[in-house]
Structure 1
Amino acid sequence: MNTIEYLKAVKAATGITSDYALAARLGVTRSAVSRLQQGGVTFSDDVALTVAEILKLHPLSVIAQANAERAKTPEQRERWSGVMEKFSESFRNLLLGCGPRPA
């Protein structure tokens, strides 16, 4: 998911229909929600934590995605994407009870 998809998912999960209510729920301004929806910016780590709580996701997956989106170089983006992939694989293995356990 990307920032815009997370915002839509939060609205759907909470029944929120207005950007004003979404801003209040995320603890940001209405203009911040507008910028997030336009794709020019992404979540702060704190907002990513709130999104993860609302959607019942592991916070590190949302934080890693936000950092990948705001990366300034392809190398940085690749590193954060790698973190997401490693985390997702470890978490999936842990839930399924197979493979190495994360440290």
Structure 2
Amino acid sequence: MTTIEYLDAVKAAKGLTSDYQLAKLLGFPLSSVSSYRTGRRFFDDEAALTVALALGVNPLVVIAAANAERAKTDEQKARWTGLMEKFSASFNTLLSQWDGRERRAFARG
């Protein structure tokens, strides 16, 4: 996902109707949200973490996606995209093993 897609996902998940509400919820200046939307800026790691927590998703996936978007070369982008896919797959595996009652993420064997 891209920065804009993550912003839209938070708006949808939280039932927000404006970027002003989004900025307030995330604790971002409205000017930052505007810069993200126009492509002048991309999430730094802290902003990516904030968005991930708002969505309840693995923060490392959003951080890797943001780094892929900020990458200066195709090689850097590919490295971050590959890492993002690994984080996403690992997180999904952990979630599938969690029964919702245990405090630990995976079963002992």
TM-score, normalised relative to structure 2: 0.80
Partner of 2:47: 47
Task: Name stretches of at least 5 consecutive residues in structure 1 with no aligned partner.
Answer: none
Task: Give the % identical residues.
Answer: 60
| Bigger Cα displacement from structure 2, 31-40 vs 56-65 | 31-40
| Bigger Cα displacement from structure 2, 85-94 vs 12-21 | 85-94
- What is the alpha-carbon root mean square deviation over aligned residues? 1.7
**Distance (whole Å) between structure 1 residues aligned to residue 92 and residue 24 of structure 2:** 33
- Rg: which structure is higher? 2
Partner of 1:76: 76
- The ranges of structure 1 where at least 4 consecutive aligned residues each deviate by more than 6 angstroms after the TM superposition are none
Partner of 2:100: none
CA contact (8 A) 2:58 2:91 kept: no
The superposition leaves residues 41-93 of structure 1 with CA deviations (integer Å, 9 ceiling, x where unpaired) of 21111111111111110100000000000011111111101101122222333
What number of residue pairs does the alignment pair up?
98
2:69 matched to 1:66? no
